[in-house]
Amino acid sequence: MRVRGAIMPEVPFPRLETVPKLALTLSALAHPGNERDVGYTIINYNTATQTLRCVASLVECLEPPAWILILDNGSAESDFGQLESGLSEARFSHIQLFRSDANLGFAAGSNFLVDQLLCLQACNYIGLLNNDALAMPEMIGVLRRPLDVTDSAVGMSGARMHKLDSPEEVDTLGIAMYASLMPADRKDISDPYLGPTGGCCMMTRCFVEDMKATTGYLFDERFFCYCEDTDLALRANLLGYRPAYVDQLAALHEGQASSRTRADRFIAYHGLRNSLWMHWKLIPTSILARHSPWLLLAHLLTIARHTLSGQPGVLFAIYRDAFGQLPALLAERAKFRKTARVAPSTLRQSISSRFYRRGYASFVFSEWLEKML
């Protein structure tokens, strides 16, 4: 697939072996392109075909970004070669490819790319897009409009993502948090909106800088992947931001292209462990107390589900590793409590009264029945 756009020839492809070696600059990219102050980040992990398709869709937006930064996150040499070759034929002059020998995860990888964009004084808006997503032509304008206002309390924006193989079907309408305090993709517009998914969002430079200065990071790199965007949205809400949602289709999403070859235990492990970390680190005590019966029920149901599915080992690993970080998270919780800018009652307005996402129980039952048969 030929892609419009190009790697800047004067910028080499760094091979990055460890996180401390990610101290790179983008001085060669300091000349604005089309949408003069918007930069986008994309993470590739053994899915070069999807990444090239994603880059092409960004370049073809009605308001294409000035910069597109791509991190190859420890892919196989063949996949990286395909990605490098595909981008070398492009013509868009502000695409930069970085290479890491290790898989840094979505959180650390995104932090690295965002930091590179912050090096560009002209970059005032930072967008994130999953590499297996296809941007709609209007996406950048749709996401930028709510941010291009004098009200700095918005900070970040999101919109509709539908399924690539079924464009009429909702993939996500952002992130929702339910009465069980478990986050999930928001499927119903009537559910409260906590914030945008990290797979399709835009943030202002001021928001990113405030988040880093106030909490020490944008995404929590301990999470690796899954729930790191909920952690960010929750911190944003507690710091007084009101993330914007635009009910307009922004992207089509293939879904879990990078992780579908991994065992279910990988997704289960990171999803539940990270949600525990997020609860301990951020959820105000009054909300934890109020929702504790539903939270306990959610964990009991999760334990039952994985036990019946023959995965009791993953449960042991989840709770062992989660509790291993408890002292550090409680210390961070005490620190953040002094930083929060809104009362817990404000956050309650963003929590759904439903136990969990509508239709999820029938989905789990169908999944279990299929495995049993």
Model confidence pLDDT, tens digit, residues 200-230 = 999 999 999 999 999 999 999 999 999 999 9
CA-to-CA separations, 1 to 4, 91, 168, in angstroms, rounded: 10, 14, 25
Distance between terminal CA atoms of the chain?
A: 41
pLDDT over 50 (residue 37): yes
Average pLDDT of span 59-71: 94
CATH number of the domain at 15-253, please?
A: 3.90.550.10
Q: Which of 33-42, 107-116, 205-214 has the lowest mean pLDDT?
A: 33-42
pLDDT on residue 7: 36
Treating both helix axes as pointing N-terminal to C-terminal, what angle do 77-88 and 48-59 enclose, rounded to 10 degrees? 20
Q: How confident is the model at residue 261 (pLDDT cuts 50, 70, 90)?
A: very low
> Of 245, 239, 271, which Cα lies nearest the Cα of 174?
245
Res. 360: pLDDT tops 90: no
Supply the mean pLDDT for the chain: 86
Band of pLDDT at residue 312, cut at 50, 70 and 90:
confident
pLDDT above 50 (res 253): yes
Mean pLDDT of 21-35: 36
Question: Would the CA dihedral through 95, 87, 157, 147 be positive or negative?
Answer: positive
pLDDT greater at residue 372 or residue 8: 372
pLDDT number for residue 220? 96
Q: How far apart are CA 91 and CA 103, in angstroms?
A: 28
User: What pLDDT score was predicted for residue 193?
Assistant: 97
pLDDT class of 1 with cuts at 50, 70, 90: very low
Nearest Cα neighbor of 337 from 372, 371, 290, 288 is 288
Predicted confidence (pLDDT) at residue 99 exceeds the cutoff of 90 = yes
H-run or E-run covering 40: strand 35-44
Looking at residue 21, its pLDDT comes to 27
Listing DSSP states for 72-140 in one string gives: EES--HHHHHHHHHHHHT---TTEEEEEESS--HHHHHHHHHHHHHHT-TT--EEEEE-TTEEE-TTHH
Lowest mean pLDDT among 16-30, 37-51, 275-289, 349-363: 16-30
- Tell which wins on pLDDT, 20 or 158: 158
Q: What residues does CATH 3.90.550.10 cover in the chain? A: 15-253
Identify the band that residue 308 occupies on the pLDDT scale cut at 50, 70 and 90.
confident
What's the burial of 310, exposed, middle or buried (CB within 10 Å: 0-12/13-18/19+)? exposed
| pLDDT score at 2 | 31
Query: For the residues 54-82, what does the mean pLDDT come to?
Result: 94
pLDDT at 91: 61
